Every structure is written in C-alpha cells, then in structure tokens.
Amino acid sequence: MRLLILTANVDCLGENDVPIGNAFRRHGWEVVFGEVTGIGWDNYRYFIRGVLSHVDGEPHHLGSAAQGVRGTYFFDECQLVWNNSLGGPPSIARDVWQILWVVSQHTSFVNSVEGTLFLETKHALGHFVPKENRCVAYASNDFSLLLERYRQNPDMCWVAKPPNGYCGQNVFLLPPDGPNVRTILQCLTGNANAQSLFGGLAERDSLVTQTPTVYGLGGFKAEYAILQHFIPEVKQGEKRVVVACGQAIAWHGRAAASDDHRSNIAQGAKPTAVDLDSAEIALAELIGRRLMEHRVNFVGIDMAYPYIVEINLTNPGGLYDAKLATGIDRSDQVAQLIISRFQNP
C-alpha cells in the first residue's frame, strides 16, 4: 500500500509530514512525499515529483529532507492521498486545485478536495458549528459596513482578520474607541475607500456611482474581512484538538506570548499540556462527524470552550505540538483510524 503526502518542500518536511509519514510506514505502507509545485499530467495520467520512502527506511524528523528514491510518481499508483499543502504559490494554485479535484475522482483523499477548498475558511463556520458555540461575527468587503457594526457596540472589544488567513497573520485586536480601528478595517478590506479617484466627500458620491469601472486605482480593489466579538475565554487558554474520523485523538493548550493577543504557535505561543473535559470532547467530535459528511476525516479544531475559534483542514498542526507538550505520540492511532476508514468504508 502506498500513501502520497502532498507537501510544500521535500527537503524540509513539516510538522504533519513527519509524524504521519512515520506512522504509516510503521503500519507497513510506503510513503511518497510529493511537492505540490511538481504536479502535472502525461496524456491525462496525473503525476507528481517527489521522494519514495520505503517501509524499512529511517524515521524522519521535523525539518529533515525526505529520504528515499527521488523521481516522478503517478497518483494512480497510490491508494491514498494526504494533502499537507495549500496548493502552492498563487501563480499555480488554481491549476493545482483543479488537477487535484480531477485526481480525487479516482483516488481517495483523506480530506476531500471540495471539503478542503470550501470549508477551510471562516466563512464556513456557521455551516457545521452549532449556533451556541459561535461568537458573533460579520463578514464583508465593505469597509463602511464593518465600521458601522463596530460603532454600534462602542463598549465591546473586537477582533478583525481576513477570512482565509493562516498562522495568526493580520489578526488585529480592536479595543473600544480604538484610535486605529478605521485604518485597520480599511486595510483589511483592500483600502478601496481610500483609493477612490474622487475621495470620500459626500458631494462626490454621484461621480463614483457614474464611473464604477474606475472606482479605485486600477479597478475593483475590495477584499473580504471578518469582524467578530473578542472571546474572553481565549485569555484562559485556547486549545488545539486533533480529530481523526470523528474521534478526538490529541490536544494541547497554547500559551500566548505576554506581548501578543494571538495564541498561534507560529506567532510565538508555546504548546502546553492540558486536560479536555467531556463537554469539550463532545463538541470537537460533533464537528468532526459533521465534517465527515463532506469527506473530511482529519481536522485541527481551535477551541476556547464553549466557542470554536476556527478549524484547520490543510496541514493542521497538533500532533507534533501535542507530543512536545505531553511526551505522548498519537500518530499511530491517527494512522490506524484513517487506514480502517478507507479499507472498510
């Protein structure tokens, strides 16, 4: 049996590539680490450049290069694909996702291409997270609408962020009467208002309406942003829960740096050992089961109970950091669940 792990760089394996690849090889599988930028097709037979690691090879470590036979490998030679990459740089991402969708019609993916592409976004939280576990939030590419929502609740603390951001990038804390709120919301929505050829004066509104194709320098510039209530529970500690096939397998806390409101590991937060009570487990597994309806079988859930902060479907950290925090490696359990899921659908 052969697993293909799609990764960004076979010469620097990531935090999911390593534990998952090692675990599958311990279960007797060959593992191909394929670079997502190396996808192509030969007379409509789809391939990827990568490295084949045999079952009896040495275990990999975080940041190490994949050890094995470098070459070109065909998707139809693999029984399962695990996507740990976001699709590559913007110049090729659309092509990569299109090719992966075609491939997925004949080869099994741990997380479906459709589920990954359309559900790994903050826009989708309302689809599978119960209402009582969602914080109040708004999304728009209209700066003035978001600013109005902020001003309607002058005593509240908010968070503003892009709907498809990762690793805590461009996540801003907006306090009541914050002096930079207007600027931040303009920035997150593309500075479309500031770039108007006619400025923001009311008497110029008619000119803007008459010339919609030139609104903004170079045309339409607006971008989406999310404005949501700040969750006080985050101060008590946010938790990452790894769910495989609807079962909560591993978890850890994230202690934010003293000078940062974000608890992302990529932003300097540290993984900590924490307990997960029965209510937290039940919520995580409920979301895991709902995602399985979309053929999503592996997810990292960020939780500040009773709220779900976000979910992560592509390369969700958690297994590696949970081992750092607790000393316990749960990757074999994940591999066994995934193997059973696809061998006994």
- Here the CATH number for the domain that contains residue 161 is 3.30.1490.20
Is there a single domain that holds both residue 241 and residue 302? yes
Strand 30-42 relative to strand 45-53: parallel, antiparallel, unpaired?
antiparallel
Give 175-200 pLDDT, tens digit per residue.
Answer: 998 889 999 999 999 987 654 555 55
| Block residue for tokens 């487990």 | 281
Average pLDDT over residues 85-112: 94
The gap from C-alpha 187 to its chain's centroid, in whole angstroms, comes to 22
Question: What predicted TM-score, i.e. pTM, was given to this entire model?
Answer: 0.87
Give the dihedral of Cα atoms 100, 101, 107, 109; nearest 10 deg: 80
Q: Which residues pair with 134 in a beta bridge?
A: none
Q: Are residues 78 and 141 in the same domain?
A: no
- Residues 287 and 213: their CA atoms lie apart, in Å, by 42
Residue whose C-alpha is closest to residue 298's, from 248, 239, 238: 248
How far, in whole angstroms, is CA 246 from its chain's centroid? 18
Contact 225, 160 (CB under 8 A): yes
Contact 258, 251 (CB under 8 A): no
- Look up residue 249 and give its amino acid: I
Same domain, 141 and 220: yes
* Backbone phi and psi for residue 174, each to the nearest 5 degrees, phi listed first: -110, 100
Print the domain residue range for 324: 122-129+232-333
Better-predicted residue by pLDDT, 225 or 232: 225
Question: Which residues, including other chains, have CB under 8 Å from residue 56's CB and lie 6 or more apart?
Answer: none
Over the chain, what is the mean pLDDT? 88
Any domain includes 117: no
The mean per-residue pLDDT over the stretch 257-273 comes to 59
Residue 283 tokens, joined? 């919520």
Q: Is residue 342 part of a domain?
A: no
At residue 231 the predicted structure's pLDDT band, cuts being 50, 70 and 90, is confident
Is the pLDDT at 213 greater than 50, yes or no? no
* 341 belongs to a structural domain: no
Name the helix (H) or strand (E) containing 45. Answer: strand 45-53
Does the residue 176 lie in any domain? yes
In a domain, 282, yes or no: yes
Grade residue 209 by pLDDT with cuts at 50, 70 and 90.
low
List the beta bridge partners of residue 138: 227
- State the sign of the Cα–Cα–Cα–Cα dihedral 52, 245, 312, 124: positive
288 shares a domain with 194: no
Sheet containing 45-53: order of strands? 69-74, 45-53, 30-42, 2-7, 80-83, 108-109
The average pLDDT across 280-290 equals 97
The structural domain count of the chain equals 3
261 pLDDT above the threshold of 90: no
Q: Do 199 and 236 reside in the same domain of the chain? A: no
Q: What is the pLDDT of residues 42-62, one digit of tens each?
A: 999 999 999 999 999 999 999
Same domain? For 163 and 78 the reply is no
Print burial letters for 70-79: b (CB count within 10 Å at least 16), e (below 16): eeebbbeebb
Q: How many beta carbons lie within 10 A of that of residue 5, not counting itself?
A: 29
The CB density around residue 10, as the number of other CB atoms within 10 Å, is 22
- Report CA Rg, the chain: 22
Answer with the one of 200, 229, 258 that is the final residue of a domain: 229
Mean pLDDT of 312-331: 90
27 and 78 in one domain?
Answer: yes
The whole-number pLDDT of residue 86 equals: 83
Q: Are residues 249 and 267 in the same domain?
A: yes
